[in-house]
Amino acid sequence: MSLTLVEKDVLRLRRVLVELLERSESDGCVVCDSGGYVIAQEGRGTQDPLLISALGAGVFAASRELARILGEDEFSAVFHQGEKKSIFIRAVNREVLLVIIFSNTANVGLVRLYAAPAATEMRVLFDEISAPDRKIEHPEKAFVLTREGDFFRAPGAS
Amino acid sequence: MSFINFANREVQLKIVYYGPGLCGKTTNLQIIHRMIATDAKGNLTSVATSKDRTLFFDFMPLVANALEGYTTRFQMYTVPGQVMYNTTRRLVLRGTDGIVFVADSQWSKMAENVESWANLEENLRLQGDSIDNIPYVLQFNKRDLPDVAPSHYLDFLLNNRGVRRPSFSAVATDGTGVFETLNMVARLVLNRFVKSYARKESKESELVLV
């Protein structure tokens, strides 16, 4: 099973994210899945989206375990406050997370406020993306491997 | 669970290094990070304790020219080997596309190897998966140490399911066997990805014909 995005999905996601960043006055955001895959990114402050996704997914998964210990179903959001920058992570659904990065000149209340409708809009999109009967327009008929040999080599190795 | 972005022409795949504590999972990633070309790797990040034991995971992205017309990103993770961090191991295993099981070849570590293997099977089962459905390879590490079990014994002990999987002898500290292991697991994961996608496509065509 794989999560598959086409051009149309990417454009829809981008529209939601750009609007979120403008309204909440945040710097950047990354959408990732609970396994740490980067699904989308927008704005500044997300120079290393792969790492932000891996760690963000890890942090949120850990918070889910904490919630479970406390008898909660889950914490719907996690907030990390720094001196200059902060991070707000919100669950879109069980599998997808929205990570928002903002400087402390922005207001965490605004981020929280606008993250909620953005997450709702994305939930609808991801429900459509993961629907079992979804038809993908213009898909590749097949993926083709580029070579028979090694994909990774250490310099100097034969 | 792989991730395909047709708009950016990118495929992401996740590989997890699993095994008992101090077997050399982090060392594998450190050696790959040290030896591989700069344009093929991202930063290696370790969430470790003050004593350099993995607390959460190690993470390193790799890029390969593996699928025609697509950027293929491998997300490489290790799990914390210490028994007490099982919850974290489960979290890191989520959605993995391939596994490298690193075993410590020393006789004194056999029980830990077997326990870690059983723990891997159990954690996959808990997330509704099975080791038989996931591409994996075994790496018998620390072959340079004096008191090690022969490779065929480790195969007998850990690689004893219906279909024998590839296994490699390694000395991760000097790089021996590290890239052989990496390339084999990458190939298995990619073959599986290409096949499963082709199968899905053919199923969809059948549906259209009906």
B55 touches chain A (CB under 8 A): no
Cα-atom radius of gyration of chain A, to the nearest Å?
Answer: 18
For Cα atoms B181, B186, B191, give the angle at the middle one, nearest 5 degrees: 130
pLDDT at res. A157: 55
Closest among B30, B16, B20 to B137, alpha carbons compared: B16
Range of the domain at B168: 3-209
Mean pLDDT of the region B130-134:
95
Does position A148 have pLDDT exceeding 90, yes or no? no
pLDDT digits (tens, 9 = 90+) for A99-130: 999 998 999 999 999 999 999 999 999 999 98
pLDDT at res. B135: 97
A51 touches chain B (CB under 8 A): yes
Confidence category of residue B207, pLDDT binned at 50, 70, 90: very low
Which fold, A7-129? Beta-Lactamase (3.30.450)
* DSSP symbols for chain B: -EEEETTTTEEEEEEEEE-STTSSHHHHHHHHHHHS-GGGB---EEEE-TTS-EEEEEEEEEEEEEETTEEEEEEEEE---SGGGHHHHHHHHTT-SEEEEEEE-BGGGHHHHHHHHHHHHHHHHHTT--GGGS-EEEEEE-TTSSSB--HHHHHHHHS-SSSPPPEEE-BGGGTBTHHHHHHHHHHHHHHHHHHHHHHHHHHHHHHHH-
Mean pLDDT of the region A41-57:
88
Mean pLDDT of the region A138-149:
78
Whether residues A151 and B186 touch (CB distance < 8 A) is answered with yes
Distance, CA of B195 to chain centre: 19
Whether residues A154 and B175 touch (CB distance < 8 A) is answered with yes
Maximum distance among all alpha carbons in chain B? Answer: 64
Burial of B7 (0-12, 13-18, 19+ CB in 10 A): middle
Mean pLDDT of the region B143-166:
95
pLDDT at res. B208: 45
Q: Which helix (H) or strand (E) holds A139?
A: none
Q: In chain B, positions 13-52, which contact chain A (CB-CB < 8 Å)?
A: 14, 32, 35-37, 40, 42-43, 45, 47
Residue B145's CATH number? 3.40.50.300
Q: Quote the mean pLDDT of chain A.
A: 90
pLDDT at res. A45: 74
A61 touches chain B (CB under 8 A): yes
**Residue A128 CA: distances (Å) to CA of A32, A77, A90, B159:** 17, 23, 20, 41
Mean pLDDT of the region B152-156:
96
Distance, CA of A133 to chain centre: 24
- What pTM was computed for the model? 0.92
Q: How far apart are CA B93 and CA B169, in angstroms?
A: 24
Whether residues A35 and B95 touch (CB distance < 8 A) is answered with yes
Mean pLDDT of the region B186-207:
80
B114 touches chain A (CB under 8 A): no
Mean pLDDT of the region B170-176:
97
Q: Smallest Cβ distance to B36: which of A5, A139, A152?
A: A152
pLDDT digits (tens, 9 = 90+) for B38-97: 889 999 998 877 677 877 889 999 999 999 999 999 999 999 988 888 988 998 999 999
Confidence category of residue B21, pLDDT binned at 50, 70, 90: very high
Q: How many CB pairs under 8 A join A and B?
A: 149
Confidence category of residue A147, pLDDT binned at 50, 70, 90: confident
Q: Which positions in chain B touch A144 (Cβ < 8 Å)?
A: 67-68, 194
Instruction: Please check whether residue A111 is in contact with residue A85, taking contact to mean a CB–CB distance below 8 angstroms.
Output: no
Overall domain count for chain B: 1
Q: Smallest Cβ distance to B36: which of A37, A54, A154?
A: A154
Whether residues B191 and A153 touch (CB distance < 8 A) is answered with no
Q: How far apart are CA B103 and CA B184, in angstroms?
A: 16
Residue of B nearest to A138 (CA): B6
pLDDT at res. B209: 43
Q: Which helix (H) or strand (E) holds A134?
A: none
Please give the residue that has the higher pLDDT: either B79 or A149: B79
Amino acid residing at B152: H
Does residue A140 sit in helix, strand or coil? coil
pLDDT at res. A153: 87
Domain definitions of chain A by residue range: 7-129
Ramachandran class of B194: left when φ > 0, alpha when ψ lies in -120 to 50, beta otherwise: alpha
Helices (H) and strands (E) in chain A — how many of each?
Answer: 3, 6
Confidence category of residue A158, pLDDT binned at 50, 70, 90: very low
Shortest CA gap A4–chain B (Å): 5
Q: How far apart are CA B130 and CA A14, in angstroms?
A: 36
